[in-house]
Chain A
Amino acid sequence: MNRLRRLLAENAVVLLFAALIAAAIPLSGAPPLYLLQEVLTRLGRNAVLVLSLLLPVMAGMGLNFGMVLGAMAGQIGLILVTDWAIVGLPGLTLAAMLATPVAVLLGWLCGAVLNRAKGREMVTGYILGFFVNGLYQLVVLYAMGSLIPMLNPELVLSRGYGVRNVINLTGVRQVLDRLVPARIGGIQLPVFTYALIAAMCLFVVWFRRTKLGQDMRAVGQDRAVADAAGIPVERTRILAIVLSTLLACYGQIVFLQNLGTLNTYNSHEQAGMFSIAALLIGGASVTRASIPNVLVGVVLFHLLFIVSPTAGKNLVGSAQLGEYFRQFVSYGVIAVALVLYAWRKQAGEQQARAALRGPGVGT
């Protein structure tokens, strides 16, 4: 009985969202086969991005709001290969290779900045995302086509420089998803993308067991103790962010190859918010996140994404209301997760203080 209760309490968020979605699916009137296809597609699209958040959580740096830096790096790679008209798997691989140094550099920058803001990594990473977005715009909107030559005039704004708002990634569209084609009962399965996700998951599992992974966990538990044990704390934290940024970069490339269109100035902004909301809906917290959290979270978040506009329309006659509701939930779940974390931390600190005062007082 007690175990059951604990199980329920630990998975309260997941259960709540599962119940919400279970109620919304019949309301939306979406056919089950369509839902299944959508969820399977979106799982392949989004899982790598969400996976990229795991390592910084382990290193005690919270949710990596700076992951948008990686997403921007990935987009720069994609813009370049599209411009050079390198298509198919070679194009996508080249995009990833071009984006890698950018992602490592940005990740290192992000880690160094966060080391100067210990205790408020999340808000700092969040603002850093906006700041680097400004630099990204400077490059993409002004330098590309003027300082950086662009070959394909169709990608350039009519004024002669700057990249268009929307880029069709026809050359690399779904090349990963369709590499190993599979259809089961009318359902299309992106087998190769799933294999890639599995490989990433294995990498995370393996990485946790390496020396560096253990160090990261130690730093996440207690910086002072880790430092005393001879672990280079600052370096370990930077590496956690560099790896996270790199994974986010590849994640954004996987995401966009599935979608097939790149919103030059918006795609990355949504990547961060949606991935973090998905991870939290999957039952993760600021201090604990696992691979099951990622997979469950992506499925639940996207189910909500698919059904809420139609459910809203059928319930109150307004699709817009359903859309606002979905956004309200995305932001709300992040707010609630952060509140719960801070709440518990504060309670823990009070308990520690009470214990320090000795028995008899407040215990």
Chain B
Amino acid sequence: MSGARRLLAEFGLPRVIIALFLLGLFAAAPLVGVSLAASLSDTVVRFGMNGILVLALVPMIQSGCGLNFGLPLGVLAGLLGATLSIEIGLTGPGGFAAAAGISLGFAALFGLGYGVLLNRVKGGEMMIATYVGFASVMFMCMAWLVLPYRSPTMIWGFGGEGLRTTISVEGFWLRVLDDFLSVRIGEEFRFPTGLLLAFGAAAALVWGFFRLRVGTAMTAAGQNPVYARAAGVDVDRMRTLSVVLSTMLGALGILAFQQSFGFIQLYQGPFYMAFPAVAAILIGGASVSRASLVHVLVGTFLFQGILTMTPSVINSVVKADMSDVVRVIVSNGMILYALTRRPAEGR
């Protein structure tokens, strides 16, 4: 097998196609009058915004729970933290820290219950996770309507009921991570140092965790549960722990997303949050049963790159907004590819 062929096999054909596609988009950008610097800047910001949400998938894949389609559960914990922090009236980094702290508490709680449930339904995790996620989003829709929030920035003015569908974080913690030590290069390129540092720190923590004894045990529980049990690993406990971790990372992930995006999206907002994250990690090379940080970094960059570039480039070429369709086909095609790989190829 020649070198190029082996590289192709290792990297996976779909990934090569997507990488080439993205490269083509970047190359074509200046030709159709799209600023390369602005596009790159957007890609980097979105890479940072979505990174932790994608990272959140790693523990559950590693422990054998599959793709966490129940990520909305973590997102809901993040929404609770964000809204409660605003309700208390905290602003700036303190407000963001409080939001993170409260979120982590809720996420640990949700994750624990969710993890115990998933232990009883081994083999059916992904579909159940999807619907548990959907049902909890709808449950929280009811909660957003009836919870006694008072902060005038968050509730409807006259005659409305419950919280607004989107809440601006301006004046609270808009871009607290993005603007921390941020560097401006040239006219249009802004480097969101703080955001990337936060993502890097979270990634480093996950990396470190999987080098600890407990992290190795978690991987073992995922790769070969029977062997792991024989070696004295409590498989169910490892799985629960991975779900708790995943949910907590999901909560932090949505907070990092919101502070950059500028809005908290309630009600049906978290509904489909899991799908782009799942697509990203799979594009990066993860399989249903194995994922690494490289997969997270590469996948998030490729996927967010395509999401940033298709609206601007493709639309100016074919004069039609096809970005949404491209996103739907690429992301679901990727998930489909991962689900239909035979186990031998998946390893």
Contact = CB atoms under 8 A, between A and B. Distances in A.
Given A338-B124, A338-B127, A133 B328 contact: yes
24 contacts: A116-B340, A123-B69, A123-B130, A127-B336, A131-B328, A133-B332, A134-B329, A134-B333, A142-B325, A318-B145, A324-B138, A324-B145, A325-B142, A327-B141, A332-B138, A335-B132, A335-B135, A338-B131, A339-B120, A342-B120, A342-B128, A343-B120, A345-B123, A346-B120
B126 interface: yes
B339 A123 contact: yes
Interface of A: 113, 116-117, 119-120, 122-124, 126-128, 130-131, 133-135, 137-138, 141-142, 316, 318, 320-321, 324-325, 327-328, 331-332, 334-335, 338-339, 341-343, 345-346
Given A321-B145, A328-B138, A335 B128 contact: yes
Nearest to A335: B131
A36 B120 CA distance: 41
B142 A342 contact: no
A124 B121 contact: no
A320 B161 contact: yes
Contacts of B322: 142
A328 B320 CA distance: 36
B122 interface: yes
B134 interface: yes
Given A131-B332, A131-B336, A324-B142, A318 B135 contact: no
Contacts of B120: 339, 342-343, 346
B121 to A, nearest CB: 3
Give 3 closest A-B pairs by Cβ, nearest first. Answer: A342-B121, A342-B124, A134-B328
Given A325-B142, A332-B135, A127 B161 contact: no
Contacts of A318: 145, 161
B336 A339 contact: no
A123 B142 CA distance: 27
Interface in B93-118: 117
B139 interface: yes
B335 interface: yes
Nearest to A146: B320
B123 A346 contact: yes
Consensus secondary structure, chain B interface: helix
Contact of B142 (A113, A321, A334, A343): A321
Contact of B122 (A126, A133, A335, A346): A346
A356 to B, nearest CB: 14
B342 interface: yes
B201 interface: no
Nearest to A135: B329
Contacts of A316: 146
A276 B333 CA distance: 23
Contacts of A332: 131, 135, 138
Interface in B168-212: none
Contacts of A325: 142
Contact of A339 (B117, B134, B324, B328): B117
Contacts of A122: 127
Contacts of A138: 325, 329
Contacts of B142: 321, 324-325, 328
A134 B342 CA distance: 25
Given A321-B142, A339-B117, A116 B342 contact: yes
